[in-house]
């Protein structure tokens, strides 16, 4: 979520699941969608039947590849290099949405400078994806009227996970694919209802709608709506709740669809 919040100010999907059917191009990276998010996977397959082009980037040849128009099999951990190379080609060949960028983006010159050396040939040495294929994917994505990006924990669960998400956000921005149906930047979450829970304000740092807890305007608004005082301190993260229980500061915990003993980094501490 950190990457999206940094670039867009919100960690939510920018588009709806139903909008997948309106996509001209779908880029699926770091997601075995038909297995981990089967309902969304079915929508993608339905979109392909309607004529959408599917691009898959994954170290493994997953089942979704059977329905793809283009498949990039990058080495594990090289997603950032691959994405930056796509952006390089788009900028180099003048395929960026100049009007969209002028109206809605900033720091384009700094971004161009940051990827000036990220050529397809450079990326091929790192990712093992042929330079010609990188160029074809970049053109296919950039030339589409509505191109959506879909990713999950194959992108985020790395030491460079935040950078990977920021790179995908840059790809969406330079092609003008934010703010339109059938496009957008769409993280497919890896835990039980983490998206819906975050939308509704269960994230300890945000009110509903990803409005920050330390924002005075948001505090005043929710104090009025909820008719109660609002603290300016964020809530506890999951691991902090365990500490708070052992310290005697948290009297109870309501757990739904989760097993902290399995998901927490210190299972012995969670059991205690």
Q: Which tokens sit at 267?
A: 């299972």
Residue whose pair of structure tokens reads 């001209």 in the numeric block:
24
Domain boundary among the residues 129, 156, 187 is at 187
Residue 5's pLDDT is 72
Q: How many domains does the chain have?
A: 2
| Pair 90, 151 in one domain | yes
Expressed as residue numbers, the domain containing 49 is 2-187
Q: Which helix (H) or strand (E) holds 150?
A: strand 147-151
Assess whether 205 and 262 both reside in one domain.
Answer: yes
Give the Å distances, CA to CA, from 138 to 27, 87, 117, 143: 10, 7, 16, 8
Residues 169, 118: Cα–Cα separation, whole Å: 17
Lowest mean pLDDT among 31-40, 114-123, 126-135, 158-167: 158-167
| pLDDT at position 2 over 70 | no
What's the pLDDT score for residue 3?
67
Q: Are residues 98 and 159 in the same domain?
A: yes
Is residue 33 very low, low, confident or very high in pLDDT (cuts 50, 70, 90)? very high
In this predicted model, what pLDDT tens digit does every residue of 170-195 receive, in sequence order? 999 999 999 999 999 998 876 667 77
Q: Of 36-40, 74-78, 191-195, 243-247, where does the model show the most confidence?
A: 74-78
Comparing 26 with 13, the larger pLDDT belongs to 26
* CB atoms near residue 260 (< 10 Å): 17
The whole-number pLDDT of residue 46 equals 97
On whether both 154 and 265 belong to a single domain, the answer is no
Domain shared by 76 and 139, yes or no: yes
Using an 8 Å Cβ cutoff, are 81 and 123 in contact? yes
Let me know whether 178 and 201 are in one domain: no
Residues 6+ apart with CB under 8 A from 135: 89, 120
Of 89, 72, 83, 265, nearest in space to 162 by CA: 83
Query: How much is the pLDDT for 84?
Result: 98
> What is the pLDDT averaged over residues 197-217?
85
Q: In whole numbers, what is the pLDDT of the chain averaged over residues?
A: 90
- How many DSSP H helices and E strands does the chain contain? 15, 7
CA distance 23 to 186: 13
Residues 220 and 119 in one domain: no
Q: Do 147 and 205 sit in the same domain of this protein?
A: no
Final residue in a domain of this structure, among 154, 187, 220: 187
Which of 187, 210, 240 is the last residue before a domain boundary?
187
In this structure, are residues 52 and 150 in contact, taking their beta carbons and an 8 Å threshold? no
pLDDT at 62 over 90: yes
Question: Do 71 and 94 have their domain in common?
Answer: yes
Q: What percent of the chain has pLDDT over 90?
A: 62
Residues 88 and 221 in one domain: no
- pLDDT tens for residues 85-97? 999 999 999 999 9
CATH code for the domain in which residue 83 is found? 3.40.228.10
The answer to whether residues 182 and 207 belong to one domain is: no
């Amino acid at each position: 979520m950190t990457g999206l919040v940094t670039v867009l100010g919100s960690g939510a999907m920018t588009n709806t699941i139903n909008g997948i059917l309106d996509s001209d191009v779908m880029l699926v990276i770091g997601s075995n969608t038909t297995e981990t998010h089967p309902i969304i996977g079915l929508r993608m397959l339905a979109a392909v039947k309607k004529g959408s082009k599917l691009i898959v980037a994954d170290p493994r040849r997953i089942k979704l590849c059977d329905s793809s128009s283009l498949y990039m099999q990058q080495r594990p951990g090289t997603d950032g290099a691959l994405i930056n190379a796509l952006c390089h080609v788009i900028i180099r060949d003048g395929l960026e949405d100049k009007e969209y960028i002028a109206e809605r983006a900033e720091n384009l010159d700094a971004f161009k400078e940051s990827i000036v050396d990220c050529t397809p040939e450079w990326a091929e040495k790192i990712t093992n994806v042929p330079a010609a294929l990188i160029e074809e994917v970049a053109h296919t994505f950039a030339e589409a009227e509505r191109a959506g990006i879909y990713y999950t924990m194959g992108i985020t669960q790395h030491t460079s996970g935040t950078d990977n998400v920021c790179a995908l956000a840059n790809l969406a921005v330079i092609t003008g694919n934010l703010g339109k149906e059938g496009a957008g930047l769409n993280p497919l979450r890896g835990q039980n209802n983490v998206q819906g829970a975050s939308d509704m304000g269960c994230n300890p740092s945000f009110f509903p709608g990803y409005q920050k807890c330390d924002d005075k305007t948001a505090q005043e608004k929710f104090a009025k709506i909820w008719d109660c005082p609002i603290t300016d301190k964020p809530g506890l993260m999951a691991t902090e709740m365990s500490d708070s229980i052992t310290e005697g500061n948290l009297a109870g915990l309501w757990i739904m669809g989760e097993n902290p003993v399995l998901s927490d980094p210190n299972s012995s501490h969670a059991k205690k």
